[in-house]
Amino acid sequence: MAGKINNEPMAEGTQRILGRDAMRLNIAIGYAMAQIIKTTLGPKGMDKMLVSDLGDIIITNDGATILEEMNVEHPTAKLMVEIAKTQDKEVGDGTTTSVVLAGNILKNSGALLDRSIHPTTIIKGLELAENKANQVLDAVSEKVTEKDDAILNKIALVSMGSKGIGSDSEKAAIAKIVVDAIKQIAEKRDGKINIDLDLIKIEKKAGGEVLDTSLINGIIVDKEIVHAGMPKRMENAKIALIDAALEIEKTETDAKIEITSPDQMEAFLKQEENTLKGMVDKIKASGATAVFVQKGIDDVAQHYLAKSGIIAVRRVKKSDMEKLARASGATVVSTIDGLSPKELGNAGSIEEKKIGGEAMVFVEKCKDPKSVSIFVRGGTEHVVSEVERAIKDSLGSVSSALEDGKYVTGGGSIEMELSKQLREYASSVGGREQLAIEAFAEALESIPTALAENGGLDSIDTIVELKAKHSKGEKTFGIDVIKGKVEDMAKLGIFEPSKVKRQAMASATETARLILRIDDIISARGKGGGMGGPGGMPPGGMGDME
């Protein structure tokens, strides 16, 4: 499918690629991007090592991270990166699936272009295929609620299955943490479950083991208690959250205070001290035993707080203040005058702990907190970062399953079932659109094919066996890459959210539609370079296509 690229000079510093050559180039680059991350798919997927110009290293098999960190210059390659970003934002998982699917839809569409089928006909067929696939997906999906802990745990496990973060027992422990965290912050509105993942704070510190990762029913604040004389641990704390400084405010305009004698100086300092003491007295009078301040705390105020046995933490981030409010039930006040017992929150314990040589304040054992923390541990920074990525993917998967209320079997089983039913549907549509629907169906089969290849299986034999199972109506059969054979995914408990699959198909189809409509690429070299392939490589033909 290789074609000559027409570089027609338009003006000084401008390059142009026209017609089918532009389409072929775009398709080649889209497919190349899919091939790059295809090997990361599944429990036996491999990792990529990404090395920046400064020598920073990231080792991961998370599709979104790989594509985001890659140095891509060609606009089509950037469109493929956008698929992963959208998938990550919308559902938090399935980034590799969406990009592999998009790349294969483009490759199969390229073969139809070579058969002189018009791009708009192909696009129409792809839209029909996506609509039908969504109908089939809804029909074969099973329902899930917040009470189905076993299913939710399995969804979390499958999501992190491809991450090399430790043993099965470690993954199972983290999966339980993820499900517990989401169930804690989930809210029901009008019969629907709403989950704001921003209310789950992920704090990470290298050291210990992956199994040391824990769920904190409260918030971890990455600050230290301000004064050595304050208690380092407190039970049944009453928490005050103050969005103001516990110090003497400077005037907004330039002001001059003239002091002509030592007595005046002493009186001035005494007045400052009394003002700060008055602030502390107001905090004490409210009944607060711990205070978190978004701004600074004067040394004198620190002294009086310590004398009163009150824990104080300063310069707490606004986002942490909001999470503390949701966790403890406190109200953030903007002035100390507005502080009263009803504005205070509660925590079972507040403790400063030294983790990896750094002090952190743990606000724990909150009663029914609506914001929680996951404290991630691991042997090295790289391990901790990969565990964090695995947790984020699992949080996305479990929250998508609960919000949508539906799940399907994994292991390539749903893709194979969709492919089978799309092929049957294609014959009923007829016309040239039929070929585009079949191209979409074939692209769906790239997911089980990739799983088989990454698992070290013979992809042709495995896909033939899988197709045979589905033709007999065994819809839940997929590829068990651990044992290396075709198995019933429902019995194995390999479950994925329907929303992840729906979003992957939507992103892939929309991007393919966008790319197939392009018949002219114009590059102004004077404004930031030319049109390289992935990683800035020169544009290539379709020679590397299978």
**Which one from 96, 213, 476, 511 is the annotated catalytic residue?**
96
Residue 232's SS3 state is coil
Centroid of chain to Cα 237 = 34
From CA 173, how far away is CA 152, in angstroms rounded?
13
Active site residue 393: yes
Q: Which residues contact 319 (CB under 8 A, 6 or more apart)?
A: 198
**Which one from 21, 40, 60, 62 is the annotated catalytic residue?**
62
Pairing type for strands 332-333 and 233-242 reads: parallel
**Which one from 65, 76, 95, 409 is the annotated catalytic residue?**
95
Q: What is the DSSP string of 75-110?
A: HHHHHHHHHHHHHHHHTSS-HHHHHHHHHHHHHHHH
Any idea what DSSP says for residue 546? Answer: -
Secondary structure of 503-524 as H, E, C letters:
HHHHHHHHHHHHHHCCCEEEEE
- List the Cα angle 65/68/71 in 5-degree steps: 125
Q: What is the DSSP string of 337-378?
A: GG--GGG-EEEEEEEEEEETTEEEEEEE--SS-SSEEEEEEE
Active site residue 95: yes
On whether the CB atoms of residues 366 and 215 are closer than 8 A, the answer is no
Active site residue 368: no
Which helix (H) or strand (E) segment holds residue 215: the answer is: strand 214-216
Active site residue 96: yes
**Which one from 93, 148, 320, 393 is the annotated catalytic residue?**
393
On whether the CB atoms of residues 174 and 213 are closer than 8 A, the answer is yes
Residue 9's CB is within 10 A of a number of other CB atoms, namely: 9
Name which of 320, 331, 330 is nearest 361 in CA terms: 320
Which helix (H) or strand (E) segment holds residue 463: the answer is: helix 459-471
Residue 203's SS3 state is strand
Q: Which residues are catalytic?
A: 62, 95-96, 393
